[in-house]
Structure 1
Amino acid sequence: MNPILFFTAFLGVFILINMYISKRLIAKLDIKDKYKLYLRVFLIVNFFGIIGYMLGRYYVDIPNWLYFLFSLPIGILFLLFCTAIIYDISRVILHHSPISQKRRNFFKRSLDISSLVVASSLSARAMYEARYVKLEKVNIKIKNLKKPYKIVQLSDIHIGGLIDKDFIHKIVQRVNALNPDLVVITGDLVDIDVKHAKETLDELKGLNSKYGTFFIVGNHEYFHGIATIIETVKALGIRVLENENVYIGEDGEGFNLAGVYDVFGYRTKTYMPDIDRALHKLQESPTILLAHQPRYIEEVKDSVDLILSGHTHGGQLYPFKFLVNLVQPYISGLHQHNENLQIYVNKGTGFWGPPMRLGASSEITDITIIPL
C-alpha cells in the first residue's frame, strides 16, 4: 500500500473515533463546560500523539522515552472508544427506562462517573500488564511420537520502537534458562527497516538449543523488505523455513518440522505459502507445522499433527479480541481442531502499537510434546 494513502486512511479512522467520543461521551456528561473543554483538549493532544507515533515508527528517529509517550495514545483512544460505545448504549437505555426522573438523574450521574473511572483504570491496567512477558508451560500429546521434546515458541516480537536490544537480550536469557531442544519464532519478528534492527537482531545469536532456532515470516515482514529480512535472519544462524521441512531428532525417534510463508503472500503474489511443497517428502514421523496465522489451518493436510501459530496477540487489548475472532478461528492457547490435528496460538512475545495489553499477556511458550 502507498505509505501516504495508508497514513491518511489511518489518521482518518482516528479522527472519526475522536469525533464519536467527543459527541457521544464528552458532550453528554453532566459536568461543567470547562471540564468538557479539558477532555476535548486531551483528545486533541492524544491525536497529535498518534501522528508522532506514526512518524517515529516509520519515518524519523526519536528518543525512546518520547516514542513511549507517542505509543500510548492509540491504546488510550481505543479503550475510550469502547467506553463511549457502552456509555452511549447505557444512556439510551436509561433514558427510556420507566423510572422516576430523580432516580434517572442519580443513575445518570453514576454512569458519568463510572465511565471516566473505568476508562482511566483500564488504561493504567493495560500499561501495567504490558510490562511483563509471562512463561506459559504447555504439554501437548502427539500420536506416534517416540520420546518427549521441549520446544520454546516466540512469536510477534515486533522489533522496533520499544522492542529493542535490551528487551531481546532478556528474552534470550529466559529462553536459554529453559534448556530447550529447539526454538521456533512464528513470524512478525521485525517491524521496521531491517537496517535499523540489525543490532537488536544480533542478540538472537545468543539463543542456545540442541537442534537450533527456526523461523517463519509473518505478515509484517512483507511490509519491510521480506527478502532482506530473510537473508538477515539466516546470517544469524537461524534456519528460515520457506515452504519446506526438516527432521528434528534421530531417525525414527524425532518429528518433521515444516514451515510456510504467511497467507499475506497471496496478496503480493510473492513468497506465497505452499503446503504441498512444505510437506514434500516427510519422514514417517509426526509433523509439526509453523504457520503464522491460525486461519491457515483450513489449508492444512491430514499429515500434520500440530500447528504452532501467532499473529493474534490474543487480542492484545481485550475488547479487540472480538474483532480478531471474526477473521481467525483461534485466538490463543491450545485447541483440538479435529481428531488428528491440534493448534497452539501464541499471544505474542512483544506487542504492536501501544505498550498496552489487557486480558492478553505477552508470552514465551514452553511446549513439551509427549507421546500419546
Structure 2
Amino acid sequence: MRSFIQFLSIFTLILGSAYTYTGIRLVEGLNITGNFLILFWTLVVLLVLLVPVSYFISQWTTKTKIRSVFSFLAFLGLGYFTILFSLVLANDFLLLLLPHLIPDLIVWLKPSLAKLGYVPPEESQYLPHLLSLSAVLTSILLTAYGFLQTHVRLRSLTVKVPIQNLHPDLFGFSIVQISDVHVGPTIQSRFIKKVVKRINRLQPDCVVITGDLVDGPASQFKEHIQPLREIQAKYGVFYVTGNHEYYSGVMPWLNELQNLGIQVLLNENRQLKINSANLCMAGVTDLKAGNLIKTHSTDPGAAIRGGEQADLKVLLAHQPNSALEAVKYGYHLQISGHTHGGQYFPGNLLIYLFQKFVAGLHHYKGMWIYVSRGTGYWGPPLRIGSPSEVTKLVLVNPGEETN
C-alpha cells in the first residue's frame, strides 16, 4: 500500500508538471487573461487532482457507482490531456524548427481564415494562436471519437491463419479470441454481456481469453465476469493470465474463472480431439509473472509437455514477446494480446518503439503469431486508430487466406 501511494504521488507530480507546461503554452498562445485565466488554472488543478482523488474515493467507499463515476471522469480527463499535451508539443516543435516558414504560412492562411471570421489577438500571435486553438479543438474531437469507438463500436474480425500441412479435420477450425478486457471500475457486466453475445454470434469451435481480463480485486468485481458463463463453444473456453491479473490479486480470480467452467492454463495444456486430429491447446503465464509469484514463472517448454506430437500446437501467451522463447518448442500458432495496438494517439505510434509484434498476424521463424488489439481498454476510455476487437481465427491451408 505504501509503495503504491509513493507511486501515485510521483505520478501526480509528473502529471502536474505536464499539465502546467501545457497550461502555460495555451495561456500564451490563446492570450488568456482576467477571470478566464483564473477559471483556466482552476480547471487545470482540478484535472490533476482528479486522478489521486478517484483512487482514494475507490478505497473509502463501497458504492460501486460512485467509484465508477470518479474513475471514469479521471481517466477521460487523462485521455483528453494526453492528446492535448502531444499536440502542444508538436506545435512547439513546429514553431521551433520551422520559423522561416511562419511568415509564408501566415500569408497563405490569413485570407481563408478571415473569411471564416477568425481574427487573432495581434499579428505576431497569428500562428501560435491558431495552433493553440487547433490543438484544443482537435483534442476535443479526438476524445469524442475515441470515446465513441470504445462504447459504441465493437469490431468482429475474421482472420485466416495458413498452417503448413494442416490436418484435414482441422480445416476451418475456428478459435475466437478476446483479450485485454480490463473488467474494473469503468468496464463491467453490461459490456461483458455485449462481448459474450458477439462471441456466440461467431459460433466458435473454441474460445480463448489471452490475459488482462480484469483490473481490480475479485472481491469488488467478480460479479461482473459472470456473463462469461454463457459463452457457447464446442471445445471449451481457455484462459491465460496477463500482467494485470497479478496486480489485481491473481489467485482469487483463478478460482472465480474455474467456477465459471473456464479452463485455466498455467504453463500446461489440454489435448483436444477434433475427429481424427489432435490439437494441443497450451498456455503460459504472463511473461513477467515470475517477478511476483515465483511458481508462476512463464515456461513454454512445460506448457507443451505431453502434446509434442499433436497435429496442431497452439500457445496462448498474453505478451507477444513470449514468442521469442516459444518458437523453440514447435508451436504452430501463438495467440496474444497486451499491446492494445497502442490504443489511442499518440500511443498507437509510440508502441512500435517498444513492441516487436504490435497487432495483427505475424510470421516469426516458422510460427504464426496473432496479436489482438484488445477487446476493452485500459485507463482512458478511448480508442483512436486501434479499434477494439473480438477476433475469429480460422485455420486454413496456405494460399487460402486471401480467398
Deviations 1:176-227 (A, max 9, x none): 1111100000001111110122211221111111001000000001112112
Tell me the distance in 2 between the aligned counterparts of 1:180 and 1:260. Answer: 22
Q: Aligned residue for 1:311?
A: 338
Q: How do residues 44-83 of structure 1 correspond to structure 2 at under 5 angstroms? A: 44-56=45-57, 60=61, 61-63=63-65, 64-83=68-87
Deviation at 1:107, TM superposition (A): 3.0
Tell me the distance in 2 between the aligned counterparts of 1:57 and 1:156. Answer: 22
Deviations 1:88-119 (A, max 9, x none): 11222354557479756543333232222212
Q: How do residues 24-173 of structure 1 correspond to structure 2 at under 5 angstroms? A: 25-34=25-34, 35-56=36-57, 60=61, 61-63=63-65, 64-95=68-99, 97=101, 99=103, 103=107, 105-131=125-151, 132-146=153-167, 147-173=171-197
Deviations 1:277-299 (A, max 9, x none): 01112233121111101111111
Q: How do residues 1-372 of structure 1 correspond to structure 2 at under 5 angstroms? A: 2-23=3-24, 25-34=25-34, 35-56=36-57, 60=61, 61-63=63-65, 64-95=68-99, 97=101, 99=103, 103=107, 105-131=125-151, 132-146=153-167, 147-250=171-274, 252-268=276-292, 269-282=294-307, 283-300=309-326, 301-338=328-365, 340-372=366-398
Percent identical pairs in the alignment equals 32
Deviation at 1:261, TM superposition (A): 0.4
Deviation at 1:84, TM superposition (A): 1.5
Secondary structure, in 3 states, of the residue corresponding to 1:29?
A: helix
Deviation at 1:78, TM superposition (A): 0.8
Secondary structure, in 3 states, of the residue corresponding to 2:160?
A: strand
The amino acid that maps onto 1:112 is S
Deviation at 1:47, TM superposition (A): 1.5
Q: Which structure shows the bigger proportion of residues in helix conformation?
A: 2
Tell me the distance in 2 between the aligned counterparts of 1:26 and 1:198. Answer: 43
Tell me the distance in 2 between the aligned counterparts of 1:98 and 1:19. Answer: 26
Give the gaps of 5 or more residues in structure 2.
108-123, 399-403
Q: Aligned residue for 2:401?
A: none
Tell me the distance in 2 between the aligned counterparts of 1:114 and 1:98. Answer: 16
Deviation at 1:323, TM superposition (A): 3.2
Deviation at 1:5, TM superposition (A): 1.9
The amino acid that maps onto 1:74 is L
Give the gaps of 5 or more residues in structure 1.
none
The amino acid that maps onto 1:371 is N
Tell me the distance in 2 between the aligned counterparts of 1:342 and 1:117. Answer: 42
Query: Higher mean Cα deviation, 63-72 or 92-101?
Result: 92-101
Tell me the distance in 2 between the aligned counterparts of 1:31 and 1:312. Answer: 39
Deviation at 1:32, TM superposition (A): 3.4
Query: Which structure would you say has the larger Rg?
Result: 2
**Normalized against structure 1, the TM-score is what?**
0.92
1:318/1:359 contact within 8 Å kept: yes
Tell me the distance in 1 between the aligned counterparts of 2:106 and 2:341. Answer: 43
2:30/2:129 contact within 8 Å kept: yes
Counting matched residue pairs gives: 370
Tell me the distance in 2 between the aligned counterparts of 1:93 and 1:36. Answer: 29
CA RMSD after TM alignment: 2.2
1:94/1:108 contact within 8 Å kept: no
- C-alpha change, 1:68 and 1:214, in structure 2 (3 Å) is same
Tell me the distance in 2 between the aligned counterparts of 1:318 and 1:115. Answer: 13
Tell me the distance in 2 between the aligned counterparts of 1:56 and 1:211. Answer: 43
Tell me the distance in 2 between the aligned counterparts of 1:247 and 1:281. Answer: 9
The amino acid that maps onto 2:376 is G
2:361/2:370 contact within 8 Å kept: yes
